Amino acid sequence: MSDLKGHLAVVTGGARGIGFAISQALASRGASIAIFDVLPQAEIEASAARITEGREVEAMGLQVNVIDEASVEAGVEKVRERFGKIDILVNNAGITRDSLIIRMKVEDWEKVLDVNLKGVFICTKVVARHMLKARSGRIVNVASVVGMIGNAGQANYSASKAGVIGFTKTAAREFASRGILVNAVAPGYIDTAMTKAISDEARANALKQTPLGRLGLPEDVAAAVSFLCGPESSFITGHVVPVDGGMAI
């Protein structure tokens, strides 16, 4: 499939995990990829190189801090210098700092809200300027099922992802007249390095909450994002697609 050939996608947090799977999925459809990440530059570039293996696409990796507007603007300018445009933005970068509300440190609340929500705002603001001029674009935000149903011990994460959902719907209304579609995906428990770090008890509880009885894979999320970036979703905007094995039923 090459229906995204000639398109350029920026994927934040795209060097590992779900972000890397998203980058791979979009590249498999012919899109060139720009990874924004805060990992060491060498690791980001190595991930970008892996994306091009066996594919006729280009990829670049840039060390960008999504909560620093100047850093995002510099990254976007480098992408535009090389590719001339940005057709797709996937706001995937995110972190967790889990704790019960009464034990949660203010700095952990602020850090999670900064990366998970402020980062989405900054990247969307900067990239949308160029999409608005082009009167075309796709923005997909990676929210979470806990932004829809909540989760004990994740007040900061749940609040940030609920904010992403609200932001998605507002951006969709603001940008629709210029041909820019804005949607979100809401993953459940996905088998990544983040979930591998949870206790056996927490993992068992996650499986109990998931009607399909398994953890999702990064590729499950990537497939939903890929759909929202492709021509088959041209009449969909302002929606949230759960990729959660049924958790939010």
Residue 130 sits at the vertex; the CA angle it makes with 126 and 136, to the nearest 5 degrees, is: 120
Active site residue ranges = 157
Q: Which residues contact 122 (CB under 8 A, 6 or more apart)?
A: 66, 67, 68, 69, 72
- Transcribe 173-236 into DSSP letters: HHHGGGTEEEEEEEE-SB-SHHHHTS-HHHHHHHHHH-TT-S-B-HHHHHHHHHHHHSGGGTT-
Rounded CA separation 31/36 (Å): 16
CA-nearest of 162, 185, 182 to 174 is: 182
Distance of CA 68 to the CA centre of its chain: 17
What stretches of 21-130 adopt beta strand conformation (E)?
A: 32-37, 59-63, 88-91
DSSP one-letter code for 169 = H
Distance of CA 236 to the CA centre of its chain: 18
- Provide the pairing of β-strand 59-63 with 32-37: parallel
